[in-house]
Homo-oligomer: A and B are copies of this chain.
């Protein structure tokens, strides 16, 4: 895969020009995207910017407003829709010198109906969703960086299915202004790249927070908690194997790894995700549902048909549960520095009809805690399987630092 940090370094020291780096991405997209279908819209030419991300071509999920490219929301309802302004995240990319290589395919309104994108590791397997195009574009080495969004598990899950690194930062770290909302208490922007070092470098450049470009952590003395999220179903055995493998590596690196029991407040919070999302989604998509119900894809239509039954009272109870859950998570994180858990329930589903399940992501999205995944191993079907590192709210730098350390152990010869 292309590395953000490598490209930035080579552009900075004059080894390659930003123009050449962009041309490389353009060539890769031209060659491979006909089959991959990661992009929904692309500019005619890529012009280099100035800044730490000069020469970095970026895929931007197509629910994010762009002033010079249409924004299709993965739905014919938004055919030809041209926003007036760039979303702040797009302006942040440009201000850091990056270049938008195109809009990446999204499931319609970032829900569960599959996008046309293929998984680069297996064209008959799902790339995941909803940030399908973003994950596939990075995994297929078309671009070094892509922007996705997560309301359930739409950043971490497609990254895990496509075998790339991704971070869903703490809620609110990246502004969601100009991003089509699905559930505003949950919607979170995330970054996808080849590795944790790339994520930290890009996140620091986009936020003006240099500490997020964290060097690798010393694992010795670090306390990692294994969380099996036993408030929901078991994952495929390969995911448990991945968790044990990363735990063993972390111990080898000097970290203390202990089994965590999940406080009951977190189990309750996991279940609050549903009503919370239901109520907000019926508001956020009120116009689309009332005026274009027949043009909504089947899963989203059926979901909104049902979600309308959620009452303000259900919503208030879910919010109160989430509030208690966030407090419980704060106490929980007093016991450990970071949590290790499953990134997804298995390898990418062997179908193009499903984008998989976000059950191992939803709790953390609702808690607003930073989540990061890096490539780890292959499962029995030869597809990527990985783990997820979760930190305390606001502890993004530590998550990045620990992920970089683990990543180094993963890549070290046995």
Contact = CB atoms under 8 A, between A and B. Distances in A.
Interface of A: 67, 77-78, 81, 84-88, 90-92, 94-95, 175-177, 181, 184, 207-209, 280, 283-284, 286-288, 290-291, 311-312
Given A208-B311, A312-B209, A287 B78 contact: no
A284 B175 contact: yes
**Copies of this protein, total:** 2
Contact of A84 (B81, B90, B184): B81
The 4 residue pairs across chains A and B that have the minimum distance between CB atoms? A91-B286, A85-B287, A88-B283, A86-B287
A287 B288 CA distance: 26
Given A175-B280, A176-B184, 5 more contacts: A81-B84, A88-B283, A91-B286, A92-B283, A175-B184
Contact of A91 (B87, B94, B207, B290): B290
Contacts of A84: 77-78, 81
Nearest to A210: B312
Contacts of A181: 177
A329 to B, nearest CB: 16
Contacts of A81: 84
Contacts of A175: 184, 280, 283-284
Residue among A94, A177, A290 with the highest chain B CB neighbour number at 10 A? A177
Contacts of A77: 84
A288 B87 CA distance: 10
Nearest to A320: B394
Task: Give the one of A90, A181, A283 with max B CB within 10 A.
Answer: A283
Which of A77, A94, A312 has most B Cβ within 10 Å? A312
Contacts of A85: 287-288
A312 B207 contact: yes
Contacts of A91: 283, 286-287, 290
Given A85-B288, A91-B290, A177 B283 contact: yes
Contacts of A92: 283, 286
A191 B283 CA distance: 18
A174 to B, nearest CB: 9
Contact of A177 (B86, B184, B311, B312): B184
| Residue among A85, A88, A94, A312 with most chain B CB within 10 A | A85
Contacts of A209: 312
A224 to B, nearest CB: 26
Contacts of A280: 175
A207 to B, nearest CB: 7
